[in-house]
Each structure stands twice: as structure tokens, then as C-alpha cells.
């Protein structure tokens, strides 16, 4: 097994690192404070090919491998987890789902502008009473012959206020339960489609999280993804791949906090020496470095298996479960190492600690990941 990165992968990693340092870092604290979406930065990410990294170039994508995606996600999330989640949703949930399951007409019309970064997309699954339990869809899509009539509410939708296209999961035939669920491509601005207020969040405050309201929205039949009743399987398949994106985001948050803590520990003095020379601090950093390396290996393994066409439900859940815990633990310790300075916004680590928490919640809580893993290992 070769753990060495290719020259191309190293170039992608460096390009993402330079972009994060030069474009994302300068105003990241201001965007967090003001809940400001990184509009210009996301536009540049699209121009760099970061919003459709793994999509075939014939549909406007960059045609990269999943390991390159992990590398780029880590570098972006080190500096700005809000920008990273925009990138994750567009790549892992929207573009990946469309490339694999959409019709050729849908790919040309929707995937191409999404993968090329002309517009961004959103994935609308969660509802007030249907978060991790995707089978409990209350949003309905009534079959009217040439179109579906969409009604309901979606909650916690990333890119909700800025997306141009939305993949919406809805129940068409309640008697069939999960086999009656469908997935639809809905365009911003359609009559009856409203975007609710922006959520005031603990972390990733620069990202765009809204509720979506559908009131008799007419969705053309050609905008259904796959055969009738395919929606639930579509959502589960997309979320499996999406866990790599969230695991990589968590990895980046942890890496960013660790690098800041290490730098601080090498310059801050206490008891006449740099604090890194005290075992109490050095051992914390040793644990952080070890856990981050282990999380990175899980992300790489999930990425390699995905590209090999293997079932990644178990390894993807492991990567997300472990990386999100490492992100939480590492950011807490980074604040501790910084002491009082860690509690103020100027030193960034308090923001990373707030950002870390969401990685344990979205795309399935940590408990959901354990259910996925336990079911897999018990077979």
C-alpha cells in the first residue's frame, strides 16, 4: 500500500492551502461575527475547480480523485469551515448525486453549471420531524400527471439562501413508506417556493442555513431523479459519499486548531521556558498529532475505497465518527493551550471550537454513524 501522494495531489493540496491563506483568512473573523456568506471567495473556488472536483470534465468538473478532494477540503476547513461546508455540499451531495443518478438531460442542464462553479446547489432532506430519520418525510410530492405538486417545509438547509438549484426529497406515496419517496431538482424562483429566515448558529456562521417552504410548487416530471420511488435510496447513497466531505471538514478544523496551538506553544513562555517544553502541554500536542493522523488515514481509506467502487457505508461512517470527535477534542485542547487568549476571537481557536460541534451533528449524528457501523460489523 502506497501512502505517498502523487505530484498532482500535492499540487492540489498546495493550491488549496494558498487559496485558504490568501483569500479566506483575511476576513474570516469578520464573516463569522457578521454571519456573512463568503460570496466572492466561493466564486473563486468555483473558478479553481473546487466545487466540482470529482465530476467528469465533460460536465464542467475537474475530474479529480477523491483523495485530492480530501486534501483540498482539509486545507479549506483549516481556515474557514463555513467555506468548506459550501464546498462539501456542492461536491458530495449535489454534484455527486446528479452525476451518478441524473438523466443525461438533467446533467447537461443542472450538473454542468454546478460543477463548473457558475452556481451552487443545496440538498434538502431534513425536516422539523425528519432529521436523521429520513423515512419520516412530511414534505409531499403529489403526482399530477405531467408534474408533481410539492408541499412542505425543509429545515437546516446549507446554501439554502444562495443556491440556484435544490435537490428536494419528498413523499409521493405514503402507503409505500420509504419506497414511495422521490428526489426532485427544484429551481430557485419557482412559484410557491419561498426561502425562510437565516438561522443564527453557534458555529459555521458564514455558511448559509435556511428553512425552505414549498406551497403548491409545480415540479416538471422530467425533474424527478431516477425511477418513481427511488428517492430514499438516492438520499442514502448520496449521504454515504457525503460523509467523506464532512469527515474531511472535521479533519481540517482539527488540523487548523493543532497548527495554531503548536505555533503558540513554541512562542509562549511560562516559568522561564516555552510552554511546549512542559510535559503538560507537550503531551496534549502529542495526542492531538496522533489523533489527527489517524483521522486523516480514515479519510484517505474512505476516499480510495470510493474511487475503487467499493461499499463505503462502514468506512465512511467510521471516518465521520472519528474525525468529528477528533475535531471536538482537538479544538477544546487548543483553546486550553492558548489559555485566556484562546477565549478571544483574535486567536481563531474559539471559532474553530464552535465550528467543530456541527461535524458531530449534520449528515447523521455520531449516534447514527455508530448504528451504521454496528449494522455493518454484525452482518
Please give the average per-residue pLDDT across 280-288, as a whole number: 98
Please give the average per-residue pLDDT across 213-235, as a whole number: 97
3-state helix, strand, coil in the chain (%, to 5): 60, 15, 25
Confidence of residue 132 (pLDDT cuts 50, 70, 90): low
The percent of residues in the chain predicted with pLDDT above 70, rounded, is 99
Among 99, 127, 199, 363, the one annotated catalytic: 363
Please give the average per-residue pLDDT across 252-266, as a whole number: 98
Inter-residue contact 318 to 373 (CB < 8 Å): yes
Could you give the CA distance from residue 213 to residue 215 in angstroms, rounded to a whole number? 7
- pLDDT above 70 (res 96): yes
Q: Per the structure block, which three cell numbers stand in for 351?
A: 471559532
Q: Could you tell me which of 320, 333, 341, 335 has the C-alpha nearest to residue 287?
A: 333
| pLDDT tens string 72-81 | 999 999 999 9
* Chain centroid to CA 253: 12
Inter-residue contact 13 to 71 (CB < 8 Å): yes
Inter-residue contact 104 to 45 (CB < 8 Å): no
**If you average pLDDT over every residue of the chain, what do you get?**
96
- pLDDT above 90 (res 137): no
Q: Read off the pTM.
A: 0.96
Inter-residue contact 276 to 265 (CB < 8 Å): yes
Could you give the CA distance from residue 14 to residue 72 in angstroms, rounded to a whole number? 8
- pLDDT above 80 (res 130): no
Q: Per the structure block, which three cell numbers stand in for 321?
A: 465518527
Supply the pLDDT for residue 299: 98
Please give the average per-residue pLDDT across 42-48, as a whole number: 97
Please give the average per-residue pLDDT across 344-371, as a whole number: 93
Inter-residue contact 110 to 102 (CB < 8 Å): yes
- Number of Cβ within a 10 Å radius of residue 278: 14
Could you give the CA distance from residue 377 to residue 304 in angstroms, rounded to a whole number? 20
Please give the average per-residue pLDDT across 246-269, as a whole number: 97
Q: Per the structure block, which three cell numbers stand in for 362?
A: 449534520
| pLDDT tens string 184-210 | 999 999 999 999 999 999 999 999 999
Q: Under DSSP, is residue 167 helix (H, G, I), strand (E, B) or coil?
A: strand
Inter-residue contact 130 to 101 (CB < 8 Å): no
Could you give the CA distance from residue 50 to residue 285 in angstroms, rounded to a whole number? 31
| pLDDT tens string 294-337 | 999 999 999 999 999 999 999 999 999 999 999 999 999 999 99
| Orientation of helix 231-267 relative to helix 279-307, angle to 10° | 150
Supply the pLDDT for residue 362: 87
- pLDDT above 90 (res 286): yes
Tell me whether strands 147-158 and 193-198 are parallel, antiparallel or unpaired. Answer: unpaired
- pLDDT above 90 (res 252): yes
C-alpha to C-alpha distances, 106 to 65, 98, 241, 366, nearest whole angstrom = 23, 8, 20, 34
Could you give the CA distance from residue 208 to residue 158 in angstroms, rounded to a whole number? 6
Would you call 363 a catalytic residue per the annotation?
yes
Confidence of residue 129 (pLDDT cuts 50, 70, 90): confident
Inter-residue contact 117 to 52 (CB < 8 Å): yes
- pLDDT above 90 (res 355): yes
Amino acid at each position: 500500500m502506497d501512502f505517498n501522494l502523487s505530484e498532482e495531489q500535492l499540487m492540489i493540496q498546495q493550491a488549496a492551502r494558498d487559496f485558504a491563506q490568501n483569500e479566506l483568512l483575511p476576513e474570516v473573523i469578520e464573516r463569522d461575527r457578521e454571519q456573512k456568506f463568503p460570496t466572492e471567495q466561493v466564486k473563486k473556488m468555483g473558478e479553481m475547480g473546487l466545487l466540482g472536483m470529482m465530476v467528469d470534465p465533460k460536465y464542467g468538473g475537474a475530474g479529480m480523485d477523491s483523495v485530492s478532494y480530501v486534501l483540498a477540503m482539509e486545507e479549506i476547513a483549516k481556515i474557514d469551515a463555513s467555506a468548506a461546508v459550501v464546498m462539501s455540499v456542492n461536491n458530495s451531495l449535489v454534484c455527486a448525486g446528479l452525476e451518478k443518478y441524473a438523466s443525461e438531460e438533467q446533467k447537461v442542464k443542472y450538473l454542468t453549471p454546478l460543477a463548473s462553479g457558475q452556481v451552487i446547489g443545496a440538498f434538502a432532506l431534513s425536516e422539523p420531524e425528519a432529521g436523521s430519520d429520513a423515512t419520516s418525510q412530511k414534505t409531499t410530492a403529489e403526482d399530477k400527471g405531467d408534474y408533481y405538486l410539492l408541499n412542505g417545509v425543509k429545515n437546516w438547509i446549507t446554501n439554502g439562501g444562495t443556491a440556484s438549484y435544490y435537490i428536494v426529497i419528498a413523499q409521493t406515496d405514503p402507503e409505500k413508506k420509504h419506497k414511495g419517496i422521490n428526489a426532485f431538482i427544484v429551481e430557485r424562483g419557482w412559484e410557491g417556493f419561498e426561502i425562510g429566515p437565516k438561522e443564527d448558529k453557534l458555529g459555521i456562521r458564514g455558511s448559509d442555513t435556511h428553512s425552505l417552504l414549498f406551497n403548491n410548487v409545480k415540479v416538471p416530471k422530467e425533474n424527478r431523479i431516477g425511477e418513481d420511488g427511488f428517492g430514499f435510496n438516492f438520499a442514502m447513497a448520496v449521504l454515504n459519499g457525503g460523509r467523506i466531505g464532512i469527515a474531511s471538514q472535521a479533519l481540517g478544523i482539527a488540523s487548523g486548531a493543532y497548527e495554531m496551538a503548536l505555533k503558540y506553544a513554541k512562542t509562549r513562555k511560562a516559568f522561564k521556558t516555552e510552554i511546549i517544553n512542559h510535559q503538560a502541554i507537550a503531551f496534549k500536542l502529542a495526542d492531538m498529532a496522533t489523533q489527527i493522523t489517524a483521522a486523516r488515514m480514515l479519510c484517505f481509506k474512505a476516499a480510495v475505497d470510493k474511487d475503487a467502487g467499493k461499499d463505503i457505508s462502514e468506512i465512511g461512517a467510521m471516518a465521520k465518527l472519528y474525525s468529528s470527535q477528533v475535531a471536538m477534542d482537538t479544538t477544546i485542547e487548543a483553546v486550553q493551550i492558548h489559555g485566556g487568549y484562546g477565549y478571544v476571537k483574535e486567536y481563531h481557536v474559539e471559532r474553530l471550537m464552535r465550528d467543530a460541534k456541527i461535524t458531530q451533528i449534520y449528515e447523521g449524528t455520531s449516534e447514527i454513524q455508530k448504528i451504521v457501523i454496528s449494522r455493518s460489523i454484525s452482518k
